[in-house]
C-alpha cells in the first residue's frame, strides 16, 4: 500500500478499527492525522495520538459522544486541555478541579488559549513539569515569572529558561541571583521575599548578609522555626531580638542562641536553666561561656552533661567535635586545677571518673587520688596516662588487675627498673607489653627469650635483633 492509498483508508469512516490501528503506526504524519480524525478509530489509539493531534481528536465526531458518556475520563480532560479549540472558561474549570492531574495541568499550561490569570494559578501546584510549561508559555505574565524565580523546587536549569522569557523583569533577575545565594541582593528584593509563602525562601532572607535590622526583627516573629533559627544565626541580629527569642518555643531556635559567641550574660544565665538538656548541652559546648556557668552546669541533673564537659576539657583549643560543635573551651592548666576537674574526679559515675583519668592535663594530685579508685577501668586509664608520676606508676605496677599492670607495661613513662619487675608477671599480656616498651632494657629482653610463651620469646628476640641492627643505645 502506497502513501496515497494509506491516507485514503485513514480518512474512510468505513475502514475497520484493526486497519486504523495499523495505520496509526505509519511514518507518514498526514496518515496518522487522518486516523486521529476518524470516528472509527479505537479510543486506545486516539489516546496515543492525543499529544500529536489534539485538535483533530476534539474535532472528531466520536469525541462529543465520548464527552457525554464519560466527562470525567482522563482522556477527555487531557484532550480538552491540549486542544487549541478549547474555550478559556473550560480550561479554567479544568485548572481549578480537585484531585488535579499533573499531565492535564501541564497541557493547560502549554495551551495557547490559557489566560495569564490561569497560568498564574497553575504555579501554585509547584510541579516541576507544570512550572516548566508555564515558563515556556509566551503569555506568562511578569508577576508570575517573579513568583517562579523564587521557587526553590525549580532552581537550576529552569531558572535559565525564566531569564530568557520576553516578560521577565529586573525583579525576577535579582530574585534568581538571590536564590543562587548571591550576597549582592538589594534590600528591596529581600523585603519582597520576606513575605514569600515558602518558608525556605524566608529562611534564606533571614541569613542574608544584606538584611536590615528591621527585617530581622520582622522575621524573628515568623511562624516557621527554621526562619527564626536563621535570624538567630545572622551576626547582625541584636541582643534585644536574642533576648526575646531565648524564650522561643522551639528548642532549635534556643540552641542556635546557645551556640553564639556574643550572647550576653543575661541570656547565658537563662539558657543555663533551660528545661531542655539539649539547650544546656549546646551552652556547655560553647567555648565562650564564663567559667562560673560551666561550674553551674557541672551540677546538672542530666548524667550526660558531665561527659560533655569532660569532652570539652580533653580537647585542644583549635579542635572541633565531629558533629559540628566546638569541643574546645578556654582551658589552661590553672583552670583544670579548679573545682571543675575536682568535681568530675569525685563523680559517682565511674565513666566520668574514667574520663578524668584519661585527660592528659589532669593534675597529678587528682590522678594520685584516683589511683586507688575502686573501679578497675578508672585505674586502667590512669595506668595509660602519659602524665602520671613515677610514684603512681610504681603503685599501679602491683595492682591486682592484670589489665592495669598491662597499662603500666605499655606506658612509655614506665622505667626500665619497673619493666624488669614486670617481666615475670603472671599475665602473658603484661609480659608481652614489656617486650614492646622502648624503655625495656636489653637484659630484660634477654630474660624474656626464655619465656614459656613462644610469642613473647619471639617478640623479645625480634626487638633485640632490631636494636642490634640499628646500633641504638638502650638502657642496660
Q: DSSP 3-state assignment of 168?
A: coil
Contact 360, 386 (CB under 8 A): yes
Cell numbers standing for residue 333 = 592548666
Distance CA 148, CA 201 (A): 12
Sequence-distant (6+) residues with CB within 8 A of 259 are: 282, 285, 286, 325
Mean pLDDT score, 341-366: 78
User: For 296-330, what is each residue's pLDDT tens digit?
Assistant: 776 666 656 666 666 555 554 333 222 222 333 34
pLDDT in the model for residue 308: 64
d(CA 221, CA 229) in angstroms, rounded, equals 11
Residue-level pLDDT at 184: 84
Residue 474 falls inside a structural domain: yes
In a domain, 423, yes or no: yes
Contacts of 270 (CB under 8 A, 6+ apart): 246, 247
pLDDT at 331 over 60: no
Q: What is the pLDDT of residue 337?
A: 43
Query: Mean pLDDT throughout 186-198?
Result: 89
More confidently predicted of 358 and 86: 86
- The answer to the question of residue 74 being in a domain is no
Q: Report in angstroms the alpha-carbon separations of 307 from 337, 350, 352.
A: 18, 11, 6
Q: Which of 44-58, 94-108, 296-310, 330-344 has the lowest mean pLDDT?
A: 330-344
pLDDT for res 236: 94
| pLDDT of amino acid 156 | 58
Distance CA 21, CA 24 (A): 5
Band of residue 120 on the pLDDT scale cut at 50, 70, 90 = very high
* pLDDT greater at residue 345 or residue 203: 203
Residue 221 above 80 pLDDT? yes
| 382/408 Cα distance (integer angstroms) | 9
pLDDT score at 125: 76
Q: Which class for 1: exposed (0-12), middle (13-18), buried (19 or more C-beta within 10 A)?
A: exposed
To the nearest whole number, what is the mean pLDDT of the chain?
A: 86
The answer to the question of residue 291 being in a domain is: no
pLDDT at res. 390? 95
d(CA 251, CA 237): 18
Q: For 16-31, what is the mean pLDDT?
A: 95
Of 214 and 334, more confident: 214
- Burial call 303-319: b when 16+ CB within 10 Å, e when fewer: eebbbbbbebbbbeeee
Among 13-27, 173-187, 335-349, 380-394, whose mean pLDDT is lowest? 335-349
Asked whether the predicted pLDDT for residue 409 surpasses 60, the reply is yes
What pLDDT was estimated at residue 305?
Answer: 67
Label residue 116 by pLDDT band (50, 70, 90). very high
Please report the pLDDT score of residue 164 as a whole number. 84
Q: What is the mean pLDDT of residues 395-406?
A: 97
**CA dist., res. 77 & res. 96, Å (int):** 13
Min mean pLDDT across 149-158, 167-176, 406-415 is at: 149-158
Q: Are 33 and 25 in contact (CB under 8 A)?
A: no
Residue 132 lies in a domain: no
- Residue 32 forms part of a structural domain: no
Over residues 117-146, the mean pLDDT reads 90
Mean pLDDT across 436-462: 95
Quick one: pLDDT at residue 248?
95
pTM for this model (two decimals) = 0.53
Q: Return the residue matching grid coordinates 487531557.
A: 78
Residue 87 located in a structural domain? no
Element (H, E) at 328: none
Parent domain of 448: 415-476
Q: Rounded to an integer, what is the distance from CA 227 to the centroid of its chain?
A: 17
Task: Give the number of domains in the chain.
Answer: 1
Residue 320 pairs in a beta bridge with: 326
Average confidence (pLDDT) over 442-446: 94
Tens digit of each residue's pLDDT (9 = 90 or more) over 236-266:
999 999 999 999 999 999 999 999 989 998 9
Q: Is residue 449 part of a domain?
A: yes
Per-residue pLDDT, 176:
82
Amino acid at each position: 500500500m502506497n502513501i496515497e492509498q494509506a491516507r485514503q483508508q485513514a480518512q474512510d469512516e468505513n475502514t475497520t478499527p484493526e486497519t486504523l490501528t495499523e495505520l496509526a503506526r505509519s511514518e507518514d504524519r498526514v496518515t496518522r492525522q487522518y486516523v486521529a480524525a476518524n470516528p472509527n478509530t479505537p479510543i486506545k489509539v486516539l489516546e496515543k495520538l492525543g499529544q500529536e493531534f489534539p485538535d483533530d481528536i476534539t474535532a472528531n465526531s466520536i469525541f462529543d459522544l465520548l464527552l457525554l458518556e464519560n466527562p470525567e475520563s482522563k482522556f477527555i480532560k487531557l484532550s480538552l486541555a491540549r486542544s487549541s479549540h478549547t474555550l478559556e472558561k473550560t480550561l479554567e474549570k479544568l485548572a481549578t478541579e480537585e484531585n488535579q492531574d499533573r499531565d492535564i495541568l501541564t497541557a493547560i499550561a502549554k495551551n495557547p488559549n490559557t489566560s495569564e490569570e490561569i497560568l498564574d494559578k497553575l504555579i501554585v501546584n509547584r510541579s516541576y513539569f507544570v512550572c516548566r510549561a508555564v515558563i515556556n508559555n509566551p503569555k506568562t505574565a511578569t508577576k508570575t515569572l517573579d513568583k517562579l524565580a523564587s521557587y526553590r523546587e525549580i532552581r537550576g536549569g529552569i531558572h535559565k529558561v525564566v531569564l530568557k522569557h520576553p516578560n521577565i523583569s529586573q525583579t525576577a533577575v535579582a530574585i534568581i541571583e538571590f536564590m543562587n545565594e548571591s550576597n549582592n541582593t538589594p534590600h528591596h528584593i529581600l523585603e519582597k521575599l520576606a513575605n514569600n509563602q515558602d518558608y525556605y525562601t524566608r529562611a534564606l532572607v533571614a541569613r542574608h548578609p544584606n538584611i536590615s535590622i528591621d527585617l530581622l526583627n520582622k522575621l524573628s516573629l515568623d511562624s516557621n522555626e527554621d526562619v527564626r533559627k536563621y535570624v538567630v544565626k545572622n551576626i547582625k541580629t541584636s541582643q534585644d531580638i536574642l533576648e526575646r527569642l531565648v524564650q522561643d518555643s522551639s528548642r532549635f531556635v534556643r540552641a542556635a542562641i546557645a551556640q553564639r559567641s556574643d550572647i550576653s550574660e543575661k541570656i547565658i544565665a537563662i539558657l543555663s536553666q533551660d528545661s531542655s538538656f539539649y539547650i544546656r548541652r549546646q551552652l556547655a559546648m560553647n567555648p565562650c561561656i564564663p567559667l562560673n556557668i560551666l561550674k553551674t552546669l557541672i551540677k546538672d541533673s542530666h548524667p550526660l552533661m558531665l561527659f560533655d564537659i569532660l569532652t570539652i576539657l580533653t580537647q585542644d583549643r583549635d579542635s572541633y567535635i565531629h558533629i559540628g560543635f566546638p569541643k574546645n573551651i578556654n582551658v589552661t592548666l590553672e583552670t583544670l586545677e579548679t573545682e571543675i576537674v575536682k568535681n568530675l574526679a569525685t563523680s559517682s559515675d565511674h565513666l566520668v571518673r574514667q574520663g578524668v583519668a584519661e585527660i592528659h592535663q589532669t593534675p597529678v594530685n587528682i590522678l594520685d587520688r584516683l589511683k586507688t579508685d575502686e573501679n578497675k577501668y578508672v585505674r586502667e586509664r590512669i595506668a595509660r596516662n602519659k602524665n602520671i608520676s613515677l610514684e603512681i606508676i610504681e603503685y599501679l605496677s602491683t595492682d591486682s588487675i592484670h589489665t592495669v599492670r598491662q597499662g603500666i607495661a605499655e606506658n612509655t613513662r614506665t622505667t626500665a627498673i619497673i619493666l624488669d619487675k614486670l617481666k615475670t608477671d603472671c599475665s602473658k599480656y603484661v609480659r608481652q607489653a614489656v617486650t614492646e616498651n622502648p624503655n625495656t632494657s636489653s637484659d630484660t629482653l634477654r630474660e624474656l627469650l626464655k619465656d614459656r610463651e613462644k610469642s613473647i620469646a619471639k617478640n623479645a628476640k625480634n626487638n633485640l635483633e632490631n636494636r642490634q641492627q640499628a646500633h641504638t643505645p638502650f638502657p642496660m
